[in-house]
Amino acid sequence: MTTDHKELMKILRQHVGNDALLKHCLATEIAMRAYAGKFGQDAGYWGAVGLLHDIDFEKFPDEHPHHARELLAAHGFDDAFITDVESHGREWPGERNLLQKTLLALDELTGFIIACALVRPDKSLDNVEVKSVLKKMKDKAFARAVNRETITEGAAAMGVDFAEHVAFVTKALAAANGHSDLPLVG
Ligand SMILES: [Fe+2]
């Protein structure tokens, strides 16, 4: 299997046409790569799992992620990779390893941080403050579709301090914004 970003994007675009979902996948890739670096893991592999984790969502929103296996297998991804993707299903029965815990912890958080940037007057990820993200986490009316429990429980499962986790992911997204295939904000 490839971990080349351009090749992975070609595969993803065969299954996802929606820009918002593509941006979500890119943001997850960026944050997964950042954490792989922090944890001394394989950034190419972690990034690939992040980028492709929602590959079946557009075609099978009600059965996601249960069609990831057939889609990824057709592109030559092995069982371990497919299992890593499947593991972010909320009802996945296995015990998650570090990569899998990280993926689950990031899934909703990246979008929440981007939502925090979008309501700023400058719409800039660079100026998103951790304290403002934490405050908005408590504001139920803000980005109400985002499940706060998944975010906080995910960070707890990773064993990271929540404020540091938010700061780390925000910084990673801000650094990569503009270098990714699509701007994450805007
Ligand atoms: Fe996702």
pLDDT digits (tens, 9 = 90+) for 129-169: 999 999 999 999 999 999 999 999 999 999 999 999 999 99
| Ligand 1 center–CA 166 separation, angstroms | 17
| Ligand 1 center–CA 108 separation, angstroms | 7
By the CB criterion, residues less than 5 angstroms from ion ligand 1 are 54, 107
> What proportion of the chain, given as a percentage, has pLDDT over 70?
99
Give the model's confidence band at 83: pLDDT under 50 very low, under 70 low, under 90 confident, else very high.
Answer: very high
Per-residue burial over 14-35, b if 16 or more Cβ lie within 10 Å, else e, is ebbeeeebbbbbbbbbbbbbbb
Please state the pTM of the whole predicted model.
0.96
